[in-house]
């Protein structure tokens, strides 16, 4: 077991819940929230790594990851707002079917 053991084990459930939401939900806002949860877990692990190894590299990489997930969150929210204004729904399956010109089941 590495020095990061407790921190990683305490963060893994958060990561798993985020991954589950990413693959199991159809609502674009929920998918975005799941992505942010995965990001929060990743940043937390990097911060814990910085503490365990006494190096600032983990914190800096965590900061860059935080900025990246902030940008992708903003883009997804913009897309979701556009979706709900044009289609009236956040459902990605409906969005895909409308895009393909098919009928919604």
Residues of this chain, 83-102, that bind another protein according to CB under 8 A: 84, 86, 88-90
Q: Which of 23, 80, 92, 101 is the binder for another protein (CB under 8 A)?
A: 80
- What contacts 47, CB < 8 A, 6 or more positions away? 58, 59, 62
| Closer residue to another protein in complex, CB, 69/103 | 69
How many Å from the N-terminal Cα to the C-terminal Cα in the chain? 50
69: nearest Cα among 102, 100, 41: 41
Q: Which of 23, 64, 94, 100 is the binder for another protein (CB under 8 A)?
A: 64
Phi, psi (deg, nearest 5) at residue 97? -65, -40
Radius of gyration of the chain (CA): 18
| Closer residue to another protein in complex, CB, 50/97 | 50
The reply to whether 19 sits near another protein by the rule CB under 8 A is: no
Site string for another protein, 22-61 (x = CB under 8 A): --xx-x-xx-xxx-xx-xxx-xx-xxx-xxx-xxxxxxxx
34: nearest Cα among 75, 69, 79: 69
| Closer residue to another protein in complex, CB, 68/103 | 68
Q: How far is the CB of 78 from another protein (least distance, A)?
A: 6
């Amino acid at each position: 077991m590495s020095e990061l053991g407790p921190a990683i084990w305490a963060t893994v459930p958060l990561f798993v819940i985020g991954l589950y939401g990413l693959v199991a939900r159809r609502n674009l806002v929920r998918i975005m929230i799941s992505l942010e949860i995965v990001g929060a877990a990743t940043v937390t692990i990097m911060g814990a790594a910085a503490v365990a190894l006494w190096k600032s590299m983990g914190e800096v990489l965590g900061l860059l990851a935080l900025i990246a997930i902030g940008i992708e969150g903003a883009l997804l929210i913009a897309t979701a707002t556009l979706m709900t204004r044009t289609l009236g729904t956040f459902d990605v399956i409906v969005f895909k079917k409308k895009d393909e010109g098919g009928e919604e089941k």
